[in-house]
Amino acid sequence: MNFSFWCIFTYYFRSAIKWFLRRTTGLCELQRICYGEVKGAPRTNAVEYSLSMSKQLQIKQLILHLNSISDRMGFIGSNQNEVLQGAVRVVLLVKKIDPRIHSQFVISFGRCVEYIWGYRQLIAEVEQLRTTQYDSDNPEHEDQLYKLWSKLKPDEPLEERITKQWQDIGFQGEDPKTDFRGMGLLGLENLVFFATVYRSAAQHVLSHSYHPVHGYCFAIVGINLTSLAWTLLKEGCAKTYAYNIENVPSIRLFHHFYSYLFYEFDRFWMECRPKDIMEFSNIKNKFETNIRICLQDPNNDFRIGVAVDNV
């Protein structure tokens, strides 16, 4: 009840509180956040919330403008500096902040803007991959599939394109393309990234999938984890991870996030010691709950597997 009362109080009296604090500190809310909050997720989340709650028309228009650019995948790229500087200038003018006096604010706020709209663009980029269906007539798609095999089975040549050998790395049938229907090209690119960048870790996980009792279908589980990673990204839960890294969110970040999930899920699965694959849904749900709890801590850098991080 006390929490609910405080939420209602701050919602209706937010403007008065902000006015009082500005008069007493000489700083606007965004300045107080950038100077007072720990960098990373705590600061970026607070800036994002402050901007979203703004009643000033120029700020609302700025948000719509940045949303539009990010949704078109034009925020991170060749025009990034120009767009970023323009956004910072708008806020400096609206909030009457002198950049010569508050140069550190310019840097900190600009960094937050990069992460907030870089994350939004990442959602658009991941969705584009997810909705791109695997095409066996596309040489680039086929090359990726063969690359997955060569990374996971470097000493075992693939006899032909359609073969039961694919089941050795966890696909359901003789042609893997049918297993990518749900997550499209995203599922394949996740698997290839894990097998390439975290090769030792991927081999370690693959070896567990062969366990006579606790084994599972490596590729199918991997595609299921692509779905989980996508859900966490889309819902905003993955912001804790994305906002606490050194680099601005990118598709590579999503692949890293996926790799951590896969490695950690394997560890969790083996600890649960399931009797058979029929326990997959139950264990996956428990794993997802644990990950969501972990992501609720804005100070968590989400370095799931030390072994993976050191690969």
pLDDT by residue (tens digit) across 134-181?
999 999 999 999 999 999 999 999 999 999 999 999 999 999 999 999
Characterise 157 by phi-psi region: left (phi > 0), alpha (psi -120 to 50), beta (else).
Answer: beta
**Count of structural domains within the chain:** 2
Same domain as 149, residue 125 = no
Alpha carbons 12 and 84: distance in angstroms, whole number:
32
The answer to whether residues 166 and 289 belong to one domain is yes
**Range(s) of the domain holding residue 95:** 2-130
Does position 193 have pLDDT exceeding 70, yes or no? yes
Single out the residue in 130, 165, 180 at which a domain terminates.
Answer: 130
Q: Would you say 171 and 217 are in contact if contact means Cβ atoms under 8 Å apart? A: yes
pLDDT for 186 equals: 98
Residues 6 and 56 reside in one and the same domain? yes
56-67 pLDDT, tens digit per residue, is 999 999 999 999
User: Are residues 268 and 176 located together in one domain of the fold?
Assistant: yes
Domain endpoint, select from 99, 130, 161: 130
Rounded distance between C-alpha atoms, residue 149 and residue 156, angstroms = 9
Is the domain of 163 the same as that of 95?
no
293 shares a domain with 161: yes
* 154 and 53 in a common domain: no
Token look-up 């901007």 returns 51
Look at residues 86, 113, 130 and tell me which one is the last residue of a structural domain. Answer: 130
Do 205 and 287 share a structural domain? yes
End-to-end CA distance of the chain: 48
Claim to verify: residue 189 and residue 99 sit in the same structural domain: no
Q: How confident is the model over 257-281, as a mean pLDDT?
A: 95
Shared domain check, 288 and 147:
yes
Residues 7, 55: one domain? yes
Which amino acid, one-letter code, is at 170?
Answer: G
Domain identity same for 97 and 239: no
Q: Rounded CA gap, 269 and 229, in Å?
A: 17
What is the reported pTM?
A: 0.89
Q: Is 216 exposed, middle or buried (0-12, 13-18, 19+ CB in 10 A)?
A: buried
User: With pLDDT > 90 as the criterion, what percentage of the chain qualifies?
Assistant: 82
